Amino acid sequence: MNAVYILWLRQLKRYTRSRARVTASLAQPLLFLFALGFGLGPTFQKAGHGNYIQFISPGVIGMTVLFNSMFSGIELIWDRQFGFLKETLVAPVSRLSIMIGRTLGGATTALIQGVIIMGVCTVAGFRVQNLSLLPVAFLFMALIATTFTALGTGIASLLTDFQGFQLVMNLVVMPAFFLSGALFPLGEAPAPIQFIASFDPLSFGVDGLRTALIGVAHFGIPTDLGVLATFTTLFLGFGGYLFSRIQL
């Protein structure tokens, strides 16, 4: 447990020291929020779906958590290239503890970014409909963060260069985001899109966030929570297995 706590704290210190990273990670969510939120707002309203800022904000929050979670794997490649990972792995602790510590640290930083974007969405006009369900929204954000940080760690365990990681991430992150229903009502999407979305962990995370924050549901909170928790467990096992097989 001490090793997990130390690695978690190390990830947080990295995050707080990197002001450039914090600023850059906010740019893309803000672009989606303001460009799409205000640009497509009138069209969305004319279609009879109400305020688009209100609808898109949970999706943008989920996107923020997703992107920051997945790209935390870059830090693993950085540590591997510069020898810091070797120093960590020779410590008298299990690799599983190291992986869990890194995953929790990356998930925490992604969760912080998600909370920041939630505040920005509030400034833009977003309003939580039921404050009593706000802890449920934070739970979904934490599950999204843990799921995709574990996946990012597992993928980074197989790679040795930044370019390869970025290419793989683009093949994973962008489809996961655009097919999750973060930007459009999933219930009105074509049947093939709905079918693919049912295998996307982010679909259940975004739906859970949207249900908790504005009361608009597609799957329902029990289904969202159960499926996302299952994905979290699977990806933690997947990431832990690949991390345990790292060759330095």
Encode pLDDT of 9-48 as tens digits. Answer: 666 666 555 555 566 667 778 888 888 877 877 777 776 6
Name the amino acid, one letter, at 144: I
Terminal Cα distance for the chain, rounded? 24
198's tokens: 């049912």
The structural domain count of the chain equals 1
Which domain, by its residues, includes 87?
2-244
Name the residue among 103, 107, 96 with its Cα closest to residue 140.
107
pLDDT in tens, 94-142: 788 888 888 888 888 889 889 999 998 998 889 999 899 999 999 999 9
pTM, to two decimals = 0.89
